[in-house]
């Protein structure tokens, strides 16, 4: 037996003799956000901070920046993360085996609750001359990194407006914080992004350059929205971003908190309960969370509820 082993054993035996209480280590929980300047990262950070404040003896929550919705769904499927944030449309596709998950449904995916609405947006600088979607032809456009939720939304919009991603534009796949910078630095002409409002991702470029936001309201977008329960038509109100003093008509998804059926029921119950019992704190932690309310937070979810979340909703008589 090595000296270290002997000392450790001795310490344990002595500890038992003097009746030292056994200290249960807090359980590490990983929560996947997205780009550091987006709102998902704030969801991961703010819920982690609520949990560490109220349940710090039991849990050690860590919010992580990630590639976005698709990355989070796949990491949760593999068990690499306990929780993550993902767009309602991507959730639906994953659970039902469509799009990126064609023929490979993520059947272990479970819903916890919905967060804020996210609008699909196309943001450019005034000086590019882009005033409508068709004007992006021949330009350098960020459509979102692989792993993000927005990339698929951007591809839907391109298809609907008859724009070929390979031939008609120079498509980039930057992470969103890089894209915001690249717009200011004139390395790209516009970016697509699907995000809650207000978001630093748009606020930051809007303070450095004159930006313009392009409506995404083609009749075929409206048809797509009508056909899918996870989309709604909406408006980004005038004044949300500096220099954008007009309403921008577009469509929206919902940011949802997801987990895996194999995550312990108590872990999901404790998180759900802590969030709902401290909802005022969560609402106050970011402007995009201001309107969160329990009724809407139980809607817009495409995968079944995790039993831990359901236990809390039943206790409250919400389900």
Give me the torsion for CA of 89, 90, 94, 97, rounded to 10°.
60
Candidate ranges 99-107, 161-169, 190-198, 296-304; the one touching ligand GLU (CB under 6 A): 190-198
Counting Cβ atoms within 10 Å, is residue 218 exposed (0-12), middle (13-18) or buried (19+)?
middle
Q: Alpha helices, DSSP H only, in 55-171?
A: 69-78, 88-96, 150-160
Q: Nearer Cβ to ligand GLU, position 148 or 272?
A: 148
Among 91, 119, 194, 272, binds ligand GLU (CB under 6 A): 194
H/E segment holding residue 235? strand 232-236
76 part of the interface to ligand GLU, by CB under 6 A: no
Candidate ranges 73-81, 130-138, 177-185, 193-201; the one touching ligand GLU (CB under 6 A): 193-201
68 part of the interface to ligand GLU, by CB under 6 A: yes
Pairing of strands 211-214, 109-125: antiparallel
195 part of the interface to ligand GLU, by CB under 6 A: yes
| Residue 116 beta carbon to ligand GLU: minimum distance, rounded to whole angstroms | 9
69 part of the interface to ligand GLU, by CB under 6 A: yes
Q: Nearer Cβ to ligand GLU, position 197 or 260?
A: 197
Of 170, 177, 187, the C-alpha closest to 125 is 187
87 part of the interface to ligand GLU, by CB under 6 A: yes
Instruction: Mention every residue, 6+ apart, whose C-beta is less than 8 A from residue 229.
Output: none
149 part of the interface to ligand GLU, by CB under 6 A: yes
Q: Nearer Cβ to ligand GLU, position 74 or 87?
A: 87
Candidate ranges 135-143, 148-156, 165-173, 271-279; the one touching ligand GLU (CB under 6 A): 148-156
Size of the site for ligand GLU (CB under 6 A): 15
In this structure, the number of other CB atoms found within 10 A of the CB of residue 49 comes to 15
Pairing of strands 83-87, 170-172: unpaired
| Residue 52 beta carbon to ligand GLU: minimum distance, rounded to whole angstroms | 21
The interface mask with ligand GLU, positions 92-131, x = CB under 6 A, is --------------------------x-------------
Q: Nearer Cβ to ligand GLU, position 50 or 255?
A: 255
134 DSSP assignment: G
| Residue 22 beta carbon to ligand GLU: minimum distance, rounded to whole angstroms | 40
Q: How far apart are CA 252 and CA 88, in angstroms?
A: 10
Residue list 28-67, contact with ligand GLU (CB under 6 A): 34-35, 38-40
Q: How far apart are CA 64 and CA 44, in angstroms?
A: 7
Q: Nearer Cβ to ligand GLU, position 196 or 215?
A: 196
User: What's the distance, Cα to Cα, between the start and end of the chain in Å?
Assistant: 57
> Do 257 and 63 meet the contact criterion of CB atoms below 8 Å apart?
no
> Which residues form the interface with ligand GLU (CB under 6 A)?
34-35, 38-40, 68-69, 87, 118, 148-150, 194-196
């Amino acid at each position: 037996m090595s000296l270290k082993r002997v000392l450790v054993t001795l310490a344990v035996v002595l500890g038992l003799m003097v009746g030292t209480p056994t200290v249960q280590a807090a359980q590490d929980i990983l929560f996947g956000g997205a780009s550091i300047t987006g709102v998902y990262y704030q969801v991961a950070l703010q819920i982690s901070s609520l949990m560490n404040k109220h349940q710090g003896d039991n849990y050690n929550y860590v919010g992580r920046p990630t590639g976005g919705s698709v990355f989070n769904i796949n990491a949760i499927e593999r068990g690499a993360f306990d929780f993550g944030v993902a767009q309602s449309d991507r959730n639906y596709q994953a659970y039902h085996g469509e799009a990126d998950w064609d023929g490979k449904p993520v059947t272990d995916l479970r819903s916890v609750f919905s967060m804020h609405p996210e609008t699909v947006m196309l943001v450019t600088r005034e000086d590019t001359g882009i005033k409508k979607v068709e004007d992006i032809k021949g330009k350098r456009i960020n459509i979102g990194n692989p792993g993000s939720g927005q990339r698929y939304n951007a591809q839907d919009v391109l298809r609907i407006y008859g724009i070929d991603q390979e031939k008609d534009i120079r498509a980039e796949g930057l992470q969103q914080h890089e894209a915001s910078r690249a717009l200011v630095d004139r390395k790209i002409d516009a970016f697509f992004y699907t995000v809650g409002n207000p978001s630093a991702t748009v606020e930051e470029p809007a303070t450095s350059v004159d930006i313009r936001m392009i409506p995404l309201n083609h009749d075929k977008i409206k048809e797509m929205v009508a056909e899918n329960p996870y989309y709604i038509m909406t408006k980004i109100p005038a004044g949300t971003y500096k220099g954008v003093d007009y309403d921008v008509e577009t469509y929206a998804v919902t940011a949802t908190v997801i987990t895996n059926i194999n995550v312990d029921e108590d872990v999901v119950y404790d998180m759900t309960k802590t969030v709902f019992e401290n909802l005022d704190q969560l609402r106050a932690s970011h402007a995009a969370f201001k309107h969160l309310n329990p009724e809407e937070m139980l809607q817009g979810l495409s995968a079944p509820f995790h039993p831990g979340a359901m236990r809390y909703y039943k206790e409250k008589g919400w389900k």
